[in-house]
Amino acid sequence: MTLQDFFKNNPTPISGLIASFANGSIKISESVRNAATLSLTGSLDEVNVQGEIVQKLDDFSNRVMMDACHNEPSVAGYLSEENEGITSIHESGEYVIAVDPLDGSSNIDVAAPIGTIFAVWKRKSKSGAVDESDFLQKGTDCVGAGFMLYGSSTLFLFSTGEGVRLFSYNTASGQYELVKDNLLLPEKGKIYSINQGSMSKFEDATTQFVNYCTAIEKADSRPYSLRYIGSMVGDMYRTFVKGGVFLYPATKGDKKGKLRLLYECIPMSYLAEKAGGKGIDGANRILDLQPVSLHERSAIIIGSLELVNKYQEIYNS
């Protein structure tokens, strides 16, 4: 079943928006696969609001996602990792979007999986130009979220409030085709995913949790395996499929970790919870956090319920 037919059978208020993003993602996927021949590898001599060197594909993907929003009348506003401020799109639109147009772009040159991550809220203001308060909303108020993975295949995983849908792009038909209409994140897992090179900077709870994962305990299949791609969408898709836990925790010097709350931690936690998993920052549920700035960061521990609960138990002890 194609995405179009799926939405015919399961209409939602944001079907048009999701379909527009799907079309945009196919353009991004094709550019990622042909980056070298399209001279889209490498970077522009620009630095984005994050202080990161802008990869040519970051800039291209951001423009594609903005165009997707301009093509969808229900979108009122746009926030992107690549833009310093918010952008008003359609003043009569109902929804605002927070997006990481190309997460993991530093992995482009090594052909590792990269992707697009987005979250959707209903605007709080009635109409007209959007303002920051339309975006600074909790994950519990999200009306949808998703990510596209540009890897060995192009995958689209999203939820509009019910279950998590998984589609795969069929290059022959040029369509996203349904793989699963209710993807569940395994409650248990045997994989932990963290940049263990930062061990010396981790807070005690993270060190204790890594020691738990690597201890020999045959009763529950420990030691677990370490898998870390260094691209959140790649590590998270594996977690949805195989179970396990992904951690980008706070460090002794950096209480907020590295990943962005509005367009990385909240969408991934929204999806994880819709699939039976969980996302926390250590003590708190990610979806309960009240964002106070557009590009704020958050620590994140996310994945199989059993493993995230174990981390939280250690954190609170």
Binding site for ligand P6P (CB under 6 A): 103-104, 106, 195, 230-232, 248, 258
Nearer to ligand P6P, 29 or 231 (CB): 231
Q: Position 317: which residue type?
A: S
Nearer to ligand P6P, 144 or 257 (CB): 257
CB of 106 vs ligand P6P, minimal distance in Å: 5
Nearer to ligand P6P, 134 or 264 (CB): 264
Which tokens go with 310? 């174990």
Instruction: Determine how many CB atoms are found less than 10 A away from the CB of residue 241.
Output: 15
Report the C-alpha gap between 169 and 154 in whole angstroms.
5
If you search the block for the tokens 């799907």, which residue do you land on? 22
Q: Count H helices and E strands in the chain, helices first.
A: 7, 15
57 contacts: CB under 8 Å, gap ≥ 6: 28, 31, 32, 35, 40, 41, 102, 105, 108
For CA atoms 27, 227, 251, 187, give the dihedral sign: positive
CB of 100 vs ligand P6P, minimal distance in Å: 8
CB of 31 vs ligand P6P, minimal distance in Å: 18
Which tokens go with 311? 């981390």
Nearer to ligand P6P, 2 or 195 (CB): 195
Which tokens go with 250? 């706070």
DSSP state of 92: T
107 to each of 35, 42, 59, 273, how far by Cα in Å? 12, 11, 15, 27
Nearer to ligand P6P, 8 or 255 (CB): 255
CB of 198 vs ligand P6P, minimal distance in Å: 7
48 to each of 43, 85, 266, 295, how far by Cα in Å? 11, 11, 21, 12
Which tokens go with 225? 């395996």
CB of 251 vs ligand P6P, minimal distance in Å: 10
CB of 104 vs ligand P6P, minimal distance in Å: 4
Q: Position 125: which residue type?
A: S
Nearer to ligand P6P, 89 or 266 (CB): 266
CB of 151 vs ligand P6P, minimal distance in Å: 13
Nearer to ligand P6P, 106 or 140 (CB): 106
Which tokens go with 195? 């940049």
